[in-house]
Amino acid sequence: MKKVFALTTVAVLWFGGLVQANVFNLGTGFTNLETVPVGDPGNAADTSGYGSVGYAYHIGKYEVTAKQYADFLNHKATCNGDPYGLYNTAMAAGCNIQRTGGGTVANPYIYTVADDWANRPVNYVSFLDACRFANWLGNGQGDGNTEDGAYTLWGYTGWNDRRYDGGYIYRNDCAKWAVTSEDEWYKAAYYKAGGIAAGYWDYPTQSDISMTPSNDLVNPDPGNNANFSDQAGYTVGAPYYRTNVGEFVNSESAYGTFDQGGNVWEWNEAILGTGRDPTESEWEQYFVYRGWRGGSFSSSNVSCLQSSYRHYDSYGFDTREFGWIYRPVVEASYTGFRVSEVVPGPVRAVRISDLSNTPLPPNPIKVWGTVTSASPMKIGDGTIEIPVSGLAALPGDFVVVTCTYRVDGLFNHVLTALGPTDIYISPAHVQMVRIPAGHFLMGNNGDEGYSWGDEHPQHSVVLPGYYVGKYEITRGEYRVFMNAGGYSNPSYWSSEGWSWRVNENRTQPEYWDAVQNWGSGSFTQTDNHPVVGVSYYEAEAFCSWAGGRLPTEAEWEKAARWTGSYPNVYPWANTWDGQNCNNWFDYSAAGGGYAKYQTAPVGSYPGGLSPYGCHDMAGNALEWCQDWTKSYPGSTTPFDNTNVYRALRGGAWNTDPGRVRCAYRSQGLPSDNDHSIGFRLAR
C-alpha cells in the first residue's frame, strides 16, 4: 500500500493494526522518555566532520510526543498566563493539544490530547521550548525550574530582545538532560556502532544511498521505511501527517532510535550562522540560527534524511524575508525535538565531588583535591574520596591528578585509570570560591562617575559555573611552583611562553627579592603578599601546573561585582571608600595600615570583599586575565588588540579610585612584568 493525501478509511485500519510504542511507564504525574545507550566513546567522525562524541550518553529512543509535552504544559503553563509561550495555539490542530481554562489560579489552563494523537511527535515547538523542557526534566519535573539547569534562560523569550536571540544559550556543565548536540544526534542516527571505527550509514534506517528508504506504511514494517513525502504524496495525510513514534518498528538506527529520518525535523544545539534584521538598530539586529536534522513528513525528497543534509537557510543570513525561518524562537508544523541524557562537556580541572561533570574517555582530566590518607593514599574534597598511587604525599597536601580514565556507571564517581597517571603536589591552601552559572551585566553605560569608552556598552553575559581564587596568588604559593621545577619543565608553559622564558633566561619573577623599595622606603614582602612582577606567560604556566587557568575577563568581573541582580561599582558597593582596598590614596593606618607605595598581604582589607567573598579584587595587584583585549559587542568605537595586549583587571597599590572600579579595563603585553602585576587562579 502507498501513502495517501488525506485520511481515509484504509488509513484508520492501518492505525488500528500497527504496533505502537508505549512511551509512558512511570505512572500518573510523570513523563517518562525511553532512552537508548550510545556507547563507543571516542568514535571517529564521519567524512562530513560530524558524529564524533568522546563520551557515552543516552538519547531519546523516540521524538518527544504530544502527550509528553502536554504533561509538561500541565505543570509549567497553567496559572501564570504561560509567560514563556510554551503553548502555541496552532498545536490544537497541529498535534491536538487542546487548551481550556483562563490561565489564572482560580481558573488554570488545562491541556489535553486525544489518544490517537498522544504518541505522535509534538510540533510547533521552538528551540527555546525544547531547552525549557530539558531543564524541567533535569530539575525533577513537577514544579521543576525551566529557566536554569542545562540552559540558563532567565525568562528570555527571544522576540522581545533580539540582542540575545539564542547566541548566549549553551549547555551548562550541570546538564542532566539536554536538547541533543549535533554530534550526539548524528552519531545516534548514522553511526554503525560496534567500535570506534565502525563507519557510518547514509540514512538512519541502517541503509546507504544504494538502498534508499521508502515511505510505505504497512504492517508488518519490512524495514528501511520513514515518514516523508514523495511524488505519490504524504505517508499519512490530514489531519495527522505525522506517524506514531516508533511506528516503523523495523526501521531503527544501529543504536535503536526511531524516526531520526522523517516525521518531524528535530532541533539540535548547533549554531549554523548569524542573521541580521536591518530594520532594527545596529545593536539589536543580529541573532543566530539553530540546527535542524533528519527531515520531516513534508520533506519532498529522501535526500533530506541523509547524513549529508544539514538544514540551513539556503537564501542567506542577511534578509528579514528569509532570516527568521530557523531562529530559535520559530515554531513550525514540521519541527519537533528529542533529548539526550548526558554527561556534560569537557572541563579542564574539577573537584573530586564534581566528577559527574567531567567528560568520559578518552578525554583526559585534572582532578584536584587534598590528600586525606597516606596509606593507602586517598584524595578528596570533604565530600568524596578516590584512591591514588605513585606519589609520596602527606595528608593535607593539595594534589592534582591527570589521567585518562573510565567511569564505572554513567553518573557515579568511580575512576579507573586506563594508563599512566601523572600526579603531583600542587600549592597547598589555594582557596577557591564557587561562582554559580548564570548571567550578569558586564561593563557600564557611562553612569559610574569615572568611565572609559572601552567599558561601553553594558551588556548581558551568560557563564557556566566556575571557581576563582579567594585571594591573589601569594609568593608562598608561587614558591612551591618554582621549587617543583616550574621554570624547568616546558609542559607547564605555552610554546610562546617557553620561548620567552628561554630567551629572557627567566628563573623567577621580577621583584622576587623580599626587600623592595617602590617609592616610600623599603618594605619586606612575606609569603602572604601577592606575587608580583609576573608576566602573562609566568601566570599562565603556574595555572597550568596547578590544574587550572587564568580567569576570563567576564569571569573576573562577575566574581568581583555581581550581586545577583545588579553590578556593584566597587566590589563592596557603589560608593568609594579608600580604606577598603590597597590603593594610591590609602595613607592612613585604617583598613590595614599599609603605606601607599607597597603591596599588602592578601586579605588585609576585609571591608573590600566582593559579593561572592573574593578579596583584593580592587587594588593591591593588577590581575592577568586570559583574553586579548577587544571592544564589547555594540561598541561605537570598536577595537581589537588580538595578539598584542592581554587583559589586566582590578587596579593595584599605585592606582586611583577610577582605575580600581570593577568595570575598568587595563591591558599589557604578555611579557610585561611590572611590580604592580599579579594574578589569581581559576578552574
pLDDT in tens, 93-106: 999 999 999 999 99
- Residue 652 · residue 619 · CB < 8 Å: yes
Q: Which residue has the higher pLDDT, 41 or 512?
A: 512
- Decide if 349-426 and 434-678 have a common fold: no
Lowest mean pLDDT among 70-74, 157-161, 477-481: 157-161
- In this prediction, residue 178 carries a pLDDT of 92
pLDDT digits (tens, 9 = 90+) for 307-322: 888 865 333 333 322 3
Beta strands in 2-96 (DSSP E): 35-38, 57-60
Q: Quick one: average pLDDT of 284-303?
A: 78
Beta strands in 545-661 (DSSP E): 622-628, 646-649
Tell me if residue 412 falls in helix, strand or coil.
Answer: coil
pLDDT digits (tens, 9 = 90+) for 653-683: 988 889 999 999 999 999 999 999 999 998 7
- In this prediction, residue 401 carries a pLDDT of 62
Return mean pLDDT, the chain: 79
Among 331, 279, 39, smallest CA distance to 162 is for: 279
Instruction: Tell me which H or E stretch contains 545.
Output: helix 536-545
- In this prediction, residue 391 carries a pLDDT of 55
- In this prediction, residue 595 carries a pLDDT of 62
- Residue 483 · residue 473 · CB < 8 Å: no
Whether the pLDDT of residue 327 is over 50: the answer is: yes
Q: Quick one: average pLDDT of 109-121?
A: 94
Is the omega angle on the peptide bond into residue 239 within 30 degrees of 0, that is, cis?
A: yes
Q: Which residues contact 503 (CB under 8 A, 6 or more apart)?
A: none
Any bridge partners for residue 154, and if so which? none
Q: What whole-number distance in Å separates Cα of residue 68 and Cα of residue 426? A: 49
Q: What whole-number distance in Å separates Cα of residue 117 and Cα of residue 93? A: 11
Whether the pLDDT of residue 564 is over 70: the answer is: yes
Identify the band that residue 516 occupies on the pLDDT scale cut at 50, 70 and 90: very high
Lowest mean pLDDT among 336-345, 396-405, 436-445: 396-405
Beta strands in 220-264 (DSSP E): none
- In this prediction, residue 260 carries a pLDDT of 96
Q: What whole-number distance in Å separates Cα of residue 669 and Cα of residue 287? A: 34
Share of the chain above pLDDT 90, in %: 45
Instruction: Tell me which H or E stretch contains 481.
Output: helix 475-483
Is the omega angle on the peptide bond into residue 362 within 30 degrees of 0, that is, cis?
A: yes
Q: Quick one: average pLDDT of 179-200?
A: 92
> β-strands 335-336, 422-426: how paired?
unpaired
- Residue 80 · residue 238 · CB < 8 Å: no
Identify the band that residue 258 occupies on the pLDDT scale cut at 50, 70 and 90: very high
DSSP 478: H
Q: What whole-number distance in Å separates Cα of residue 259 and Cα of residue 284? A: 37
Q: What is the 3-state secondary structure (H, E, C) of 366-410?
A: EEEEEEEEECCEEEECCCCEEECCCCCCCCCCEEEEEECEEECCC
pLDDT digits (tens, 9 = 90+) for 575-598: 998 889 998 876 544 444 566 688
- In this prediction, residue 250 carries a pLDDT of 93
Listed by start position, the domains of the chain span 1-56+123-344, 349-426, 434-678
- In this prediction, residue 579 carries a pLDDT of 85
Instruction: Tell me which H or E stretch contains 10.
Output: helix 9-17
With a threshold of 0.85, does the pTM exceed it? no
- Residue 681 · residue 546 · CB < 8 Å: yes
Q: What whole-number distance in Å separates Cα of residue 135 and Cα of residue 121? A: 19
Q: Which residue has the higher pLDDT, 599 or 172?
A: 599
HSE-CB of 618 using CA atoms within 13 angstroms = 37
Q: Quick one: average pLDDT of 480-508?
A: 91
pLDDT digits (tens, 9 = 90+) for 371-401: 777 666 677 655 566 666 555 566 766 666 6
Whether the pLDDT of residue 30 is over 60: the answer is: no
Cα pseudo-dihedral 350, 354, 360, 361, rounded to 10: 40
Q: And the C-alpha cell for 29?
A: 504525574
Whether the pLDDT of residue 404 is over 60: the answer is: no
434-678 CATH, one of 3.40.1390.10, 3.90.1580.10, 3.40.50.1950, 2.60.40.10 = 3.90.1580.10
Q: Can you give the length of the chain in residues?
A: 683
What angle, 0 to 180 degrees and rounded to 10, lies between the N-to-C axes of helices 536-545 and 475-483?
70
Tell me if residue 167 falls in helix, strand or coil.
Answer: coil
How many Cβ atoms sit within 10 Å of the Cβ of residue 409? Answer: 7
- In this prediction, residue 423 carries a pLDDT of 38
Q: Quick one: average pLDDT of 321-339?
A: 71
Q: Quick one: average pLDDT of 28-33?
A: 53
Identify the band that residue 449 occupies on the pLDDT scale cut at 50, 70 and 90: confident
- In this prediction, residue 619 carries a pLDDT of 92
First to last CA, the chain: 60
Q: What whole-number distance in Å separates Cα of residue 120 and Cα of residue 69? A: 11
1-56+123-344 CATH, one of 3.90.1580, 1.20.140, 3.40.1800, 2.40.10 = 3.90.1580
Q: Regarding the domain with residue range 349-426, which homologous superfamily does it belong to in the CATH classification?
A: Nucleic acid-binding proteins (2.40.50.140)
What angle, 0 to 180 degrees and rounded to 10, lies between the N-to-C axes of helices 127-138 and 66-76?
70
